[in-house]
Amino acid sequence: MSLPNGSMACIIIVMIAGIAIPVALLLVLKKVTGGSYKAFFWGCFIMFLFAMTLESIIHQFVYSTDFGQKIWNNALWYAIYGGLMAGVFEETGRFIAFKYPLKKQWDKDANALTYAAGHGGFEMFNILFFGMLNNITYATVMKYPDKMAEVFEKATAEQAVQIQQVYDTLATTPAWMYLLAIVERCGALILHFGLSVLVWFAVKKGKKKFYLFPLAILLHAFVDGGMTLVNKLTGSIAITEIFIWVLAIAVGAFSFMIWKKEATKESIQKS
């Protein structure tokens, strides 16, 4: 059993995209809008701290409880819980970043976009680069029967089943399907841009536009939870991708309307 060359090539392309797209976004936004590097890297940090660390810790605690197991085994509860957690942690992280470390950046609304490139870009890097790196690790082991046998010997019966499923998936997945990960992440990036704009103006405009913050949480929760539920009910990657893109574009269009109304003209010109 081994991974086809075409699949390996697509996996490498996805890994490169995981680095190239966020970097390209940063450079383009910096050149076109004058957004700051500081906003970008705060976006990266907030994604790492709030979504990948704090939220993950809470998930581990919740799923270790009996109630957490009920959530895990119920598709609807799992979608609602996961969506709300993602919305609360990520949008709260955005709010804190805009309210405090980026307060001196309020004069340039384009920093909301640069922040989004960091926030969504770091998530893209983590999923595309490290996710595919994990696939390459498995694929490397697949080439050597002795190594595979050693892996299975050290694994428990349950782990062996899971490992075999990974190997079978890698061996049978069409090469082009790996590229869909890029499509999915680009849709997620659009969502991050939209949500960042909403939270930016919720912070910058204060009480007048504060409602945009809880709205961002609910929109994020609806997209994430809905995506999970649609995938669970249909089992179709294509339908799930369409769902993500339709909602991401809708959120993006709404945030663009807010942007046109609230952004100052000087704030989007190159500094």
Predicted confidence (pLDDT) per residue in 172-211, tens digit: 889 999 999 999 999 999 999 999 999 999 999 999 999 9
Map out the domains of the chain as residue ranges.
Answer: 5-265
Q: Identify the pLDDT of residue 268.
A: 54
Q: Identify the pLDDT of residue 271.
A: 44
* Mean pLDDT to the nearest integer, 87-94: 98
* Tally of CB atoms within 10 A around 124: 26
Averaged confidence pLDDT in the chain: 93
Are 17 and 94 spatial neighbours (Cβ–Cβ below 8 Å)?
Answer: no
* Better-predicted residue by pLDDT, 223 or 151: 223
Q: How confident is the model at residue 148 (pLDDT cuts 50, 70, 90)?
A: confident
Q: Identify the pLDDT of residue 69.
A: 96
* Tally of CB atoms within 10 A around 244: 24
Are 14 and 181 spatial neighbours (Cβ–Cβ below 8 Å)?
Answer: yes
Side-chain-side CA neighbours of 263 within 13 Å: the count stands at 22
* Better-predicted residue by pLDDT, 247 or 159: 247
8-state DSSP, 211: T
**Using one digit for the tens of pLDDT, what is the confidence trace for 11-63?**
999 999 999 999 999 999 999 999 999 999 999 999 999 999 999 999 999 99
Tell me how long the chain is: 271
Residue 204: its H or E element: helix 175-204
